[in-house]
Structure 1
Amino acid sequence: MEQELEPPFIIEQIKRAGPFSMDSDHYHDTYEIYYLLAGERSYYINNLIYTLRKGDLIFINKNELHRTTSKGSARHERILINFEESFLQKTLANYDLSFPFLSTQSLLLRPGVHEQGAIEYILFAMLKEQEEHRSQQIPYLQTLLIQLFIEMNRAQEISREPIAPESSEKQLKVYEMIDYLQAHYAEKLTLDLLSETFFISSTYLCRLFKQTTGFTIVEYLNYIRIKEAQRLLQSTNTKVTTIAENTGFDSIAHFGRVFKHIAKRSPLQYRKQNR
């Protein structure tokens, strides 16, 4: 069965009263903008964990591993935008516009009250436009998105308080684990090995990693491995079996299952679509 096509731009506003953690699509081929309207959240991105508060905004580039989990009171409200590169490509070229955050790692902003008002005005205009299905909706949304980018650039230029990553003793330990997994993903890794490496029990290690990042260790390791496999499929002619071995999988069947679960297509389909 063919996958249902996603629209090139989508915005949604969600309010939650209870605990919630993301459980899918931890990285994807679209850009994402996350704006926190109310509450607090823990956000994992770029191998670090951040505490977000009301008015914080994160721009997440394509294929960046990320996840949000509960922090403090479970109540929170957020607006989320996902859009494809093609949605703005021609418009940006026509206006000779460039935004550095489109080609770098994620952008984390803590705008002032005035900048928050300007950003929220645009976001609510987008929500209204998407809901009403009026004529010339696509160009209208495109111009609103460009306005949002300009406000983000301006907020970054006058940023008074950068969002610093969490740095408690527990979180520093998890950062060590993340660095280790990033460096050794191609090897045969077991919980016993990780427990010995970090001098903590495997039970506590699993609980600490999950509570801090929102991922289980196996989930995180699979995402690292599949992301590298995608890079190799896209940029080399290496055989799929060799890529599976070089990214730490013990069998081609296991590699195929995990790859399809994360990438929503087989390794060969991915290579064909991205060459």
Structure 2
Amino acid sequence: MNRIELFDLNTYPFSSVIRRTSELCDSFKETFHAHQGMELQFIHEGKGRLLIDQRSLDIRSGTLCLFQPFQLHRLQPEINEYNRYVRSFVLFEPTVFEPYLQSLPLLHSFYKQLCHGSLQAPILHPIGEEHEFVKTLLAFGEARIEAGAEQHREDAATFLISLLRQLRALLSDPKRLPLVSPRPAHRAEQMMQWIEQHYTEAFRLAALAEELHMSPYYVSHIFQETTGSSLSEYLKARRIRQACVLLTSSEQSVTEIGESVGLGNTSYFCRTFKDAKGQTPHQYRLQWKKSNV
């Protein structure tokens, strides 16, 4: 199962999708995953939870979600015969569009903070269909722009600049801060926090269970029941996320990166990475460098 990126942002550095609908018959299923790029997702209809940064947040109609590059997250909408899930989103590779903001120093600084800084709020609500951010997103429509399509890339950059101006105002409005859920996933969040501290080491379920004063079986059961993913799936996704970061930001060898993310056997690391990404770590690095020349 592909846990990192459903979109190839090296080939298509910009994608926008409008009013994608999931209903009961669609059997919506999402595991913990991350994207190479930045994603802005607006929820037109629906409610549920977002698991992100070891937190559980409420989502509902009018929610705007902000997902930074390589940030693990999982949306859990409540889809049934009475509720559907309708969202629009834009996904883009930050490095491709950063040059278009060089002449706008304040907006450029905000852009870097948005994509790489520590955000106060990963979700904002309520926004509402009438907000200019939503109107701008819907007006641009569906698009998938190739890296070499210079004119279309410039059109996308102009659109992103307009969104960024509105988003900067939204993030400075205290009324738009998220409402934290009453933490029904408290135990699962503790497990995610433990993995965050230990994912570079060989995983021992017994050690996690001992830390939480629970049985290994109960630890696995609670995590699966709460998040919809197994501990092993979440751990793999976290390791692959870090591997992607290192492949694009360091000169460490593939073997060194595998060891640093807890996958010391190089062959196993390459197989695991290819299963998640559809290409080997070496191919991923080469493609990244080629797209950022």
Q: Under TM normalisation by the shorter chain, which class is it?
A: 0.7 to 0.9
Measured against aligned partners, the alpha-carbon deviations of 1:40-90 in whole angstroms (never above 9, x if no partner) come to 132122222211111111121211112212337551100121112244323
Gaps of 5+ in 2: 1-7, 145-150
**Cα–Cα, structure 1 residues 126 and 4, in superposed 2: closer, same or farther, change >3 Å?**
closer
Runs (4+) of structure 1 moved beyond 6 Å? Answer: none
d(CA) in 1 for partners of 2:264, 2:102:
46
Deviations 1:190-236 (A, max 9, x none): 33443333233444322322343343211111122223334444555
Whether the 8 Å CA contact 1:67–1:214 is kept in 2: the answer is: no
User: Residue 27 of structure 1: CA displacement?
Assistant: 1.5
Q: 2:123 — aligned with what?
A: 108
Matched with 2:147 is none
Q: Are the equivalent residues in 2 in contact too, given 1:49–1:212 (CA < 8 A)?
A: no
The answer as to 2:99 corresponding to 1:90 is yes
Give yes or no for contact 2:69–2:116 (8 Å, CA) kept in 1. Answer: no
Partner of 1:156: 171
Cα distance in 1, alignment partners of residues 252 and 93 from structure 2: 28
Greater shift in the superposed pair: 192-201 or 256-265: 192-201
RCO greater where, 1 or 2, for CA within 8 Å and sep 6 or more?
2
Q: Which residue of 1 aligns with 2:239?
A: 225
Query: Which of 257, 276, 280 in structure 2 is aligned with 1:262?
Result: 276
Partner of 1:15: 21
Distance 2:99 2:223 in 1: 42
Match of 1:147 in 2: 162
User: Partner residue of 1:81?
Assistant: 90
Question: Matches of residues 33-72 of structure 1 in structure 2 within 5 Å?
Answer: 33-71=40-78
Count of aligned residue pairs for this structure pair: 265
Scaled by the length of structure 2, the TM-score of the pair is: 0.77
Quick one: structure 1 residues 70 and 207, their matched pair in 2 at CA, closer, same or farther if it must change by over 3 Å? farther
The one-letter code sitting in structure 1 at the alignment partner of 2:49 is S
Amino acid at match of 1:46: D
1:157–1:175: structure 2 CA closer, same or farther, 3 Å change rule? Answer: same
CA displacement at 1:137 relative to structure 2 = 4.8
- Determine whether 1:179 maps to 2:193: yes
Gaps of 5+ in 1: none
Change (3 A) 1:143 1:185: same
Alpha-carbon distance change, 202 to 270 in structure 1, aligned in 2, over 3 angstroms: same
Q: Which amino acid aligns with 1:163?
A: P
Residue 55 of structure 1 aligns to a residue whose secondary structure is coil
Counterpart of 2:259 (choices 245, 252, 274) is: 245
Q: Deviations over 1:131-188 (max 9, x none)?
A: 9xxxx654443322222211111122223141133343x4221121111111112333
Q: How far is 1:39 from its partner?
A: 1.0
Instruction: Give the match's secondary structure for 1:155.
Output: helix
CA RMSD of aligned residues (A): 3.0
* 2: CA distance, partners of 1:257 / 1:56: 37
Equivalent in the alignment of 2:203: 189
State the 1:20 CA deviation: 1.6
TM-score by length of 1: 0.81
2-structure distance, mates of 1:4, 1:179:
29
One-letter amino acid matched to 1:92: L
Distance 1:272 1:137, change over 3 A: closer
